[in-house]
Amino acid sequence: MKFSTVKSNIINELSILQGIVEKRTTMPILSNVLMKAESGKVELMGTDLEVGIRTDFEAEVKEPGVAAVNGRKVFDFIRLLPDDRNIDFTKKDDQLVIKAGESEIKIVTADEEDFPPIQECNFEKGFSWPLADFKEMIDCVFYAITQEQRYYLNGALLSLKNNQLELVSTDGHRLSYTRREFSEVKVDKEINQIISKKTLNELRKFENEKIDFDFDDNSLFFRVKNRVLISRIIESKFPNYQAVIPKDNPNKMIINKEELSSAIRRVSILSAEKSKGIKFSLSPGELKLFSSNPEIGEARDRLEVEYEGQALEIGFNSQYLLDFMETVGSEKVRFEIKDENSAVLIRPEEEEKGHYLYILMPMKI
């Protein structure tokens, strides 16, 4: 294998693989990227067996061939080269020689036959939508995905219904739901798939172009221009999230998002480190916030609000509240509360794009 390219062609494609290539692994081959040079381009592949990425870049291919080489070392060397450098790649026996001017590195290659196969997809189903909008949806659910043993909580549920795309996540303490309509999405039969947290995180790194989506019995496929991400399906049943959305909530508060976020941050300074608990005391026209730590002290704050309902006190994890506040786009947010022991529904007061709901369980303070 022998080819030449410029740094600007290869560096971004190597960069996008760094989140996939395993740094510490019991399978050494997974620390490698597979390079496949042929007819004017070089294909790069990386996988951790859960997520795989295929991408390519333009190159002057002098001798077609394949090499499996440590992905991090190649990236680090090329990253430190001047931007305008031409780079020559040559596979000699069991080494990949990379040379740019007077700079040269030789890296021992692995047996490419040991590299796990990465599925291909022709994207026949024709589902697509703008990635910029999808990233905003990912941000709305990402924080509520957990990494515990219940596999269905290790990702977000993606649902396609008619021309609607939904994402839902839950960690057992809270649930986040977002929905948007895309004219490009048309399905005859409802589609439900769980997407892993790692997959969602890698998609956030892709350029804001159109994203194509497809799937089979084992994998989900996402394509953005020349990059294809392949994700192993999480084989589990997602909880019936519709059943936990509270319907009867007579107590309603509307409040400025920035004012509430600032007050939560101030009061939570003295909340217990583990629980991060703060107390809301609600009455017509006002919200009082309170936290205490027996070893340090206590903190209080007060805000003017629009509130309809009975006086009540309810506790929350302050970080869970801030997670929602940091992703909601509206100036004001609405809290809909049944009582101090029931799940609370929080949503934007004004919704410019789609639909966003957050269900949060209270905590005892």
Q: For 35-77, what is each residue's pLDDT tens digit?
A: 999 999 999 999 999 999 999 999 999 999 999 999 999 999 9
**Residue 266 CA, distance from chain mean position:** 28
Kindly report the number of other CB atoms within 10 A of residue 99's CB atom. Answer: 16
Q: How far is Cα 119 from Cα 7, in angstroms, rounded to an integer?
A: 28
pLDDT of residue 102: 95
Q: Say how many CA atoms lie within 13 Å of 72 toward its Cβ.
A: 10
How many residues does this entry show for the chain? Answer: 365
Share of the chain above pLDDT 70, in %: 99
Q: What is the pTM of this model?
A: 0.91
311: left (phi over 0), alpha (psi -120 to 50) or beta: beta
pLDDT of 196 reads 93
pLDDT (mean) for 208-217? 92
pLDDT at 285: 96
Asked if 345 and 333 count as a contact pair (C-beta separation under 8 A), the reply is no
Confidence of residue 188 (pLDDT cuts 50, 70, 90): confident
pLDDT tens-digit series, residues 83-107: 988 999 999 999 999 999 999 999 9
Q: What is the topology classification, in CATH, of domain 2-114?
A: DNA Polymerase III; Chain A, domain 2 (3.10.150)
Instruction: Select 245-360's CATH number: 1.10.3720.10, 3.30.70.3340, 3.30.1370.10, 3.10.150.10.
Output: 3.10.150.10
Q: Check whether 120 has a pLDDT greater than 80.
A: yes
Is residue 186 pLDDT above 80, yes or no? no
pLDDT at position 88 is 98
Average confidence (pLDDT) over 146-168: 85
The yes-or-no verdict on residue 184 having pLDDT over 80 is no
Confidence of residue 266 (pLDDT cuts 50, 70, 90): very high
Q: Say if residue 352's pLDDT is above 80.
A: no
CA angle, 230 as apex, 229 and 235 as ends, to 5°?
Answer: 140
Topology alike, domains 2-114 and 245-360 = yes
Most confident of 17-31, 137-151, 238-252: 238-252
At residue 22, the pLDDT reads 79
pLDDT of residue 149: 64
- Write b or e for each residue in 275-292: b if 16 or more Cβ atoms lie within 10 A of its Cβ, otherwise e: ebbbbbebeeeebbbbbb
Convert 194-221 to b/e letters by CB count within 10 Å (16 or more is b): bbbbbbbebbeebeeeebbbbbeeebbb
Distance CA(59)–CA(276), nearest Å, equals: 53
Mean pLDDT, all residues of the chain: 94
What is the per-residue pLDDT for 147? 75
**Reported confidence tier of residue 124, pLDDT bands at 50, 70, 90:** confident
Which residues are CB-neighbours of 76 under 8 A, at least 6 positions away? none
Task: Check pLDDT > 90 for residue 239.
Answer: no
- Sequence ranges of the domains in the chain: 2-114, 127-241, 245-360
The whole-angstrom separation of Cα 274 and Cα 360 is 18
Residue 298 to residue 314: CA distance in whole angstroms: 17
CATH superfamily to which 127-241 belongs: DNA Polymerase III, subunit A, domain 2 (3.10.150.10)
Do residues 233 and 220 lie in contact, with contact meaning Cβ atoms separated by under 8 Å?
yes
Q: What is the pLDDT of residue 11?
A: 97
